Amino acid sequence: MYLKFISFFMQNKSIFSLLLFISVSFFLQAQIPSGYYTAAEGKTDAALKSQLSSIISAGYDDNGYDGLYDIYRTSDNLPSGKVWDMYSMKADGTASYYFSHESDKCGSYSGEGSCYNREHTFCDSWLGNASPQRSDAHHLIPTDGYVNNRRSSFPHGKVSSASWTSTNGSKLGNSDASTGYSGTVFEPIDEFKGDFARMYFYVATRYESKIAGWANNGSAGAILAGNSFPAYKTWFYTLMLQWNNLDPVSQKEINRNNAIATFQKNRNPFIDYPELANYIWGDRKGQQWYINGSTNPNLTSPLSGSVVNFGKVAYLQSASTTIQVKANDLTGDLTLALGGNNASNFSISTTSLTKNQAEQGYTLTITYYGNSVGIQNATLTISGGGIAATQVGLTAESTDDFMALPASNITSTGFDANWTTSANATGYTLDVFTILNSGTSQSQTLLDEAFTSGLPSSWTSSGYINGTELAGFVRLASNGSNGVITTPAINLSTPVTLIVKAKQYVNDAAGKLIIKANSDSITSILTTNTSVDYTIEIPQKTAASTISFSATGGSGKRVYIDHVKVSTQGITQTPVSVSGFPMFVGNMLTYNVTGLESDSTYHYTVKPEGNSAAISDKISLRTLLYDSLNDKLETDFFWYTIKDGISIKKLPVNCTIALFDAYGRKLKTFETKTLTSEINISMENHGVYLLQIVQNQKMKFVKVVY
User: What are the extents of the domains in the chain?
Assistant: 2-7+38-291, 299-399, 404-441+572-622, 445-569, 638-705
The arithmetic mean of pLDDT across residues 619-641, rounded, is 66
How many Cβ atoms sit within 10 Å of the Cβ of residue 134?
21
Rounded distance, CA 305 to CA 394, Å?
10
Rounded distance, CA 290 to CA 286, Å?
13
The arithmetic mean of pLDDT across residues 289-310, rounded, is 79
Q: Using one digit for the tens of pLDDT, what is the confidence trace for 499-526? A: 999 999 888 888 899 999 987 778 888 8
The pLDDT of residue 634: 67
Choose the CATH number for 638-705 among 1.20.1730.10, 3.40.50.300, 1.10.10.10, 2.60.40.10: 2.60.40.10
299-399 shares its CATH topology with 638-705: yes
Q: What CA–CA distances, in Å, run from 655 to 143, 172, 507, 675, 692?
A: 34, 46, 66, 10, 10
The pLDDT of residue 571: 58
The pLDDT of residue 3: 37
| Averaged pLDDT score across all residues of the chain | 85
Model confidence at 8: pLDDT above 50 = no
- Looking at residue 610, the DSSP 8-state letter turns out to be S
Q: Look at 623 and 174; give whichever has higher pLDDT.
A: 174
Chain mean position to CA 631: 33
- Fold type of domain 445-569: Jelly Rolls (2.60.120)
**Beta bridge partner(s), residue 364:** 323
Lowest mean pLDDT among 212-226, 260-274, 281-295, 510-524: 281-295
**Beta bridge partner(s), residue 273:** none
Model confidence at 238: pLDDT above 50 = yes
- Classify domain 404-441+572-622 by CATH number: 2.60.40.10
The pLDDT of residue 4: 38
- Looking at residue 256, the DSSP 8-state letter turns out to be H
At 17, the pLDDT band (50, 70, 90 cuts) reads very low
The arithmetic mean of pLDDT across residues 637-662, rounded, is 77
Model confidence at 631: pLDDT above 60 = no
The arithmetic mean of pLDDT across residues 191-213, rounded, is 96
Class of domain 299-399: mainly beta
Q: Using one digit for the tens of pLDDT, what is the confidence trace for 61-84? A: 999 999 999 999 999 999 889 999
Q: Using one digit for the tens of pLDDT, what is the confidence trace for 35-65? A: 999 999 989 899 999 999 999 999 999 999 9
The pLDDT of residue 632: 60
Give pTM, 2 decimals: 0.47
Rounded distance, CA 329 to CA 173, Å?
45
The pLDDT of residue 662: 54
The pLDDT of residue 11: 39
Q: Look at 611 and 519; give whichever has higher pLDDT.
A: 611
Q: Using one digit for the tens of pLDDT, what is the confidence trace for 96-149? A: 999 999 899 998 888 899 999 999 999 989 998 788 999 999 999 999 999 999
> Please, what sign has the CA dihedral across residues 197, 199, 202, 203?
negative
Say which residues have a Cβ less than 8 Å from residue 352's Cβ, sequence separation at least 6.
333, 334, 335, 336
Model confidence at 14: pLDDT above 50 = no
Model confidence at 216: pLDDT above 70 = yes
The arithmetic mean of pLDDT across residues 455-475, rounded, is 89
Q: Using one digit for the tens of pLDDT, what is the confidence trace for 354-384? A: 999 998 888 899 999 999 888 999 999 999 9
Rounded distance, CA 186 to CA 220, Å?
14
At 1, the pLDDT band (50, 70, 90 cuts) reads very low
The pLDDT of residue 525: 86
The pLDDT of residue 445: 84
Range list of H helices, 45-166: 45-57, 68-75, 145-151
Lowest mean pLDDT among 35-39, 54-58, 641-645, 654-658: 641-645
Q: 3-state SS string over 512-571?
A: EEEEEECCEEEEEEECCCCCEEEEEEECCCCCCECEEEEECCCCCCCEEEEEEEEEECCE
The pLDDT of residue 267: 96
Share of the chain above pLDDT 90, in %: 49
At 294, the pLDDT band (50, 70, 90 cuts) reads low
Share of the chain above pLDDT 70, in %: 89
